[in-house]
Amino acid sequence: MDMEKKIAETIKKYKLIKKKDKVVVALSGGKDSTSVLYILNKLGYNVEGLMIDLYLGEWSEIHKRNMKKFCDGIGVPLMIVDLKKELGQGICFIKAVLKQKKGLTGCSVCGTVKRWILNKWARKLKGDVLVTGHNLDDETQNVLMNFLKGNVILGANSSPATGGEINKDSNGNHGKFVQRVKPLFFVPEGEIRKYAEAKKFEIMYERCPCAFGTYRVDTRAWMDSLGLTDGAKKKIVENFQKIIPKLKKQQNRELVICEGCGEPSTGKICNACKIFECL
């Protein structure tokens, strides 16, 4: 089955997006998010790109340039959120401070900041859903990584759709936590790469310059060394989906509103605010 059909099928099976939805696509500038934006637009959804300028030097500049051109070319609006305007600093400084003050390394700080900004801005853009470009390889890595950490329960929210469940108004619209959906959930990374190359998207394929020395990078290398087929990855992810309802029960996560920023949180103060307190 070709990739466009696969995506349409995942959307239908998991009821990820409705035809009348405003669809905000989180764009990194890489092959995954660019491809999913392109396909959703082609399928006739009302899409808008949302990108964060992380201030990762030339890497960010090239991605921004590419995405402006790309979105312009297909007539899709693009919002670029400036991290320095939002938080007063670029991501390298934020990561360095958190490493020094809390010993936090890897992508966790950046990931938390990005999720916080994307949710806030998806809501500002009146998005019904926030699409991310996570693919089958990312999801397989999540399952294996959590298993290796001895904390399988961390995967309780690894589904094609998460969020959306807090503070809906009486009409059921626009909760604080915008519904996050992953139409590429069952599409292998290699297939997306082939698609992007065949379409000759003007994008950069290099990974983020900060993505080194992390548990995810090590897990990816280990996973690659196992030579798992795409079929095996799909089996791992599909089988994991079967135990998610059980994990959710055990996790017993209740979302509340953060007392610091008013965003959704699992505790009184959200993880993003804990980062902001250090800056």
Q: Which is nearer to Zn ion, 90 or 260 (CB)?
A: 260
Contact between residue 91 and residue 55 where contact means Cβ atoms under 8 Å apart: yes
Best CA proximity match to 30, nearest among 192, 183, 142: 192
- 117 lines the binding site for Zn ion (CB under 5 A): no
Residue with tokens 């590429």: 184
Q: How far is the CB of 234 from ligand SF4 (least distance, A)?
A: 24
| Among the listed residues 52, 203, 270, 275, the single contact to Zn ion using CB under 5 A | 270
| Among the listed residues 37, 39, 110, 187, the single contact to ligand SF4 using CB under 6 A | 110
Residue 56: CB atoms within 10 Å: 17
Q: CB under 8 Å, gap of 24 or more: what pairs does 222-229 form?
A: 222/144, 223/137, 223/140, 223/141, 223/144, 228/140
* Residues numbered 42-71 forming contacts with ligand SF4, rule: CB under 6 A: 54
x/- site string to ligand SF4, residues 201 to 230, per CB under 6 A? Answer: -------x-xx-------------------
Best CA proximity match to 119, nearest among 109, 129, 133: 129
| Among the listed residues 261, 268, 278, 279, the single contact to Zn ion using CB under 5 A | 261
Q: Which of the ranges 11-19, 107-115, 117-125, 257-265 carries the binding residues for ligand SF4, by CB under 6 A? A: 107-115
Residue 158: CB atoms within 10 Å: 20
Report helix, strand or coil for 100.
helix
Q: Which of the ranges 80-88, 97-105, 106-114, 187-195 carries the binding residues for ligand SF4, by CB under 6 A? A: 106-114
Q: Among ligand SF4, Zn ion, none, what binds residue 258 when CB lies within 5 to 8 Å by partner kind?
A: Zn ion
Q: For binding to ligand SF4 (CB under 6 A), which residues are involved?
A: 54, 107, 110-111, 208, 210-211
